[in-house]
Structure 1
Amino acid sequence: MAATLPGRAKHALALLAALLVLLVAPPAHAAPGGDDEGGSKTLRAQLESAAKGHLQATQKLEASKKRQVELKAALKQAQEKSAGLEGRVKEIANRSYRQGRFSTMAMLLNSSSPDAFMDRMLRLDQMAQVDGHALAQYEDAVTVAEKATKAIALEIKEQQKQVTVLAKKKQQAESALAAAGGGAVAGGFINANSPLARPAPRNPDGSWPREGCTVNDPTTSGCITPRLLNAYQQARAAGFTHYTSCFSRRDSGEHPKGRACDFAAAPGGFENVNATGSDRTYGNNLAAYFVRNAGRLGVMYVIWYRQIWLPNTGWRSYSGSGGPAATHTNHVHLSIL
């Protein structure tokens, strides 16, 4: 009996050691965690403000340019219409000057018969109606032209304002990245052959609608926004099917808002190593896909392999301190507006 105890003890210790390994070692699918995902809370807030401000200013600038084109077309049409009526207006003015009210009455009184009187009166009435219509059209055309000219001037001021906003937001993003030890212009991940994604819905004016965490996250038991769901689905349809995790409970960042996903570079999940070979190529292509479709998907920023892409800066250096999760060398991070 006593001889068998050491064997049982060894077996129990082996089982205990195995359990400890399983408990300590994170599974391959474990998502990058902590509140440092995407940098500090302050940095994330600055980047979000810069990206959102840039996109809002861009939308307003494009809308203003569109209105200016429409106003110029209206101005041209009004000017052409008024020019075409100028001859008619001059003719009416000259006739009124030559004849005046007395001559008009004389024409009626000199009628040879009651029928002739009525005929002349009807003709004068018709002429007055035609003249009145022509004068009204001319006045309307001139008014439209004047209003269009003033509106174009206002649109030019609006465009100048938005260009200033764009410059400030770009500086804000660059300053925030520089304060975090990054921000240098980087080579980035660009692929002109990346497939085009199906655009997410926009408001009639071209802006992005406000969205909450209202749809089920297909990668976790949490929730995400409809716009992020579209980005996730479009990425998978384009062939990017490696393990992905979106919603997670954290103190800050986009993940708890349902506006961010982490896409593992390795097929099996988030490995605690820097991606190399085909895994790194996969990450390069996925990052390039999101950048090419940023305007279609509503991308706020993309982080991959010590670089970050924002709509107002392009690819810049960006490196957190720590392992592959913090430096984003084992997964592509996507944040959606």
Structure 2
Amino acid sequence: MTGIATPASAAPRPLAAPGESGDDGEGGSKSLLEQLDSASKGYVEAKAKLKTSKAQQTKLAAEIKTLDASIGPQQAALDQIAVQAYTTGRLGPISALLTADSSGAFLDRAITLGTVAVQQNQAITDLRTTLTSQQKAKTAIEATIVDQQKQVNVMAKKKLQVETALKNANQGDDADGDSGSGDSASADEPSGSLAGGCTENDPTTTGCITPRLLYALKQAQKDGFTRYVACFRHQNSGEHPKGRACDFAADKNGFGGVATGASKTYGNNLANYFIKNSDTLGVLYVIWFKRIWLPSSGWKSYSGAGGTPSTDHTNHVHLSVT
């Protein structure tokens, strides 16, 4: 892989950009694209929450293990203090005075008994605090398990919504495709938040894109995918006018005809790169060569009206992010 690429806007102009032939260039109706957007985004968000919940469960389980290990020694310390108090004779000040044979002996015994009492009270407090913390952690784990089941249910619901929307549009049959788990590079984890709307200057057009899309674009370029890219454009539907989608040309000279040979290999590798790094980059879906990849469902068949290289996505890889 190469280093950071030169700005995409410096690449050759496309021969036939998606969307310039009268359609929106994303291969589906406005209704279908809105359903894909909503359902796939809901799935991605639930998946992220599930991941966070599982990490919290792991953290709580480690905390309980540490607390469990503390209880034994704390109970043993308390038992030892109790034995010490019994051996010394747990007397009050009056009893100590009555049994002492001198004022000095009384003071010594009172100090000893007081010290034992303080130690015992502290040991009781420590043990009680540990047991309380243990119970809180166990209750928190129970809550995370309930939350995890909730997110699993949401994911299942969103998966069904995605596949139903595709089926109703005469799309969405299972489609063979690379899993994306090959030798693709790993994108860097972002160092800060990528939240926000269409606030960043699009380096490929005069429009705007979201911080998340800009990050995905830069990561792909950093990892060697440096051919022509076009992101923001005005259209009636889809992710491009929201600044959440880019089209990555397969050919070196822009959006040409159906990709073959090295150009198709480039497109395959790029699609697989986005799939492998879908969690890190916040991928909503990837469209390439008459197929759409969704986080919920994998590769599904997907063709646009008109059967052109642009609407069928046989000359470019389409990336949408959350």
Task: Tell me which interval the TM-score lies in, with the shorter structure as reference length.
Answer: 0.7 to 0.9
Answer yes or no: is 1:305 the counterpart of 2:289. Answer: yes
Distance 2:123 2:190 in 1: 49
Identify, as 1 or 2, the structure richer in helix: 1
Q: Equivalent residue for 2:189? A: 199
After TM superposition, the structure 1 = structure 2 runs for residues 80-159 of structure 1, keeping only pairs within 5 Å, are: 80-90=69-79, 105-159=94-148
The equivalent of 1:173 in structure 2 is 162
Where 2:105 maps in the other structure, the secondary structure is helix
Residue 13 of structure 1: aligned partner:
none
1:1-337 equivalences in 2 (<5 Å): 28-33=14-19, 34-35=23-24, 37-90=26-79, 105-191=94-180, 192-201=182-191, 203=193, 209-271=194-256, 273-322=257-306, 323-337=308-322
CA distance in structure 2 between the partners assigned to 1:121 and 1:48 by the alignment = 76
Q: 1:84 to 1:200 in 2, by over 3 A?
A: closer
Alpha-carbon spacing, 1:175–1:202, altered in 2? closer, same or farther (3 Å): farther
Are residues 39 and 66 of structure 1, via their aligned partners in 2, closer, same or farther at CA, if it must alter by over 3 Å? same
Label 1:54 to 1:108 Cα distance change in 2 as closer, same or farther (>3 A). farther
In 2: Cα distance, 1:72 partner to 1:62 partner: 15
Aligned CA distance change for structure 1 residues 290 and 134 (closer, same or farther; 3 Å): same
TM-score (norm. length: structure 1) = 0.83
Q: For structure 1, list consecutive stretches of 5 or more residues without a partner in the other structure.
A: 1-26, 204-208
Instruction: Between the two structures, name the one with larger relative contact order (CA 8 Å, sep ≥ 6).
Output: 2
Q: 1:249 to 1:167 in 2, by over 3 A?
A: same
| Change in 2 beyond 3 A, CA 1:77/1:241 | closer
Cα pair 2:67 2:130 within 8 Å, conserved: yes
Alpha carbons of 1:99 and 1:317: their partners in 2 closer, same or farther (altered >3 Å)? Answer: same
Determine the C-alpha separation between the residues in 1 that align with 2:210 and 2:133: 44
Aligned-partner Cα distance in 1 for 2:89–2:112: 16
Deviation per residue, 1:47-85 (Å, 9 max, x gap): 122222122112211221121122222222222222223
* Distance change in 2, residues 1:38/1:210 (3 Å): farther
Cα displacement (A) at 1:172: 1.3
Q: Which runs of 5+ in 2 are unaligned?
A: 1-12
1:276/1:88 CA distance change after superposition, 3 Å: closer
Taking structure 2 as the reference length, the TM-score comes to: 0.86
Report deviation, 1:100: 8.6
Q: Alignment partner of 2:317: what SS?
A: strand
Structure 2 CA distance, aligned partners of 1:167 and 1:94? Answer: 59
Q: Secondary structure at the match of 1:220?
A: coil
Distance 1:88 1:268, change over 3 A: closer
Per-residue CA deviation, residues 10-59 of structure 1 (Å, 9 max, x unaligned), is xxxxxxxxxxxxxxxxx843421133524112211221222221221122
Native 8 Å contact 2:82 2:120 kept in 1: no
Change (3 A) 1:238 1:71: closer
The percentage of aligned residue pairs carrying the same residue is 49
Change (3 A) 1:103 1:57: same
Mapped to 1, the partners of 2:233 and 2:310 lie a distance apart of: 15
Q: Which amino acid aligns with 1:309?
A: W
- C-alpha change, 1:263 and 1:98, in structure 2 (3 Å) is same
Q: How many residues align?
A: 305
Q: 2: distance between equivalents of 1:100 and 1:46?
A: 78
